[in-house]
Amino acid sequence: MIVMENLNYAVVQVVHNFGAVAVMGGAAFALYPGTTALHRKLAWLVGFGWITQAMSGMSFAAVSYHYYDKLPDIHGIAMAALLIKMLCAVSGVSIVIIYLRYSTTLTIERRHFAWQLLAMLGLTALTAAAFLRWFS
């Protein structure tokens, strides 16, 4: 039973890690000059990365609930870190949606600002993840 539990957590962690790579890597890469078409593709990648982060984050809770019939007991710093990660995911998806909807009419400066925001959200979420991991 413990092997299956660990396997489930490991699979969720792999998916979560790939989401983090898409979120941070896509945003960091888009900070450099590129075509509008490339940046729109990167926006899709980052958006799917944020969705992957949210879904795999919920999967951690689901695995815990499956094996222990309760959600993880987190509080204090860990709860604050989880809330920060959730806010980053919602904000990241929102910015990507806005970017995809209006990128063809936004100035270069505003598009660059959107990528800066997305990179900052990714960095913030990664930092919060460390606190969530070690304080839960």
- Residue 65: CATH number of its domain: 1.20.120
What confidence tier does 8 reach under pLDDT thresholds 50, 70, 90? Answer: very high
The whole model's pTM is what?
Answer: 0.93
What confidence tier does 100 reach under pLDDT thresholds 50, 70, 90? Answer: very high
Angle at 15 between CA 132 and CA 8, to 5 degrees: 80
Check residue 73 and give its pLDDT.
Answer: 87
Check residue 2 and give its pLDDT.
Answer: 84
Q: What are phi and psi of 41, to 5 degrees?
A: -65, -40
CA distance 31 to 23: 13
Angle at 27 between CA 22 and CA 43, to 5 degrees: 75
Range of the domain at 6: 2-135
Total domains in the fold of the chain: 1
Closest by CA to 81, choosing from 93, 94, 72, is 72
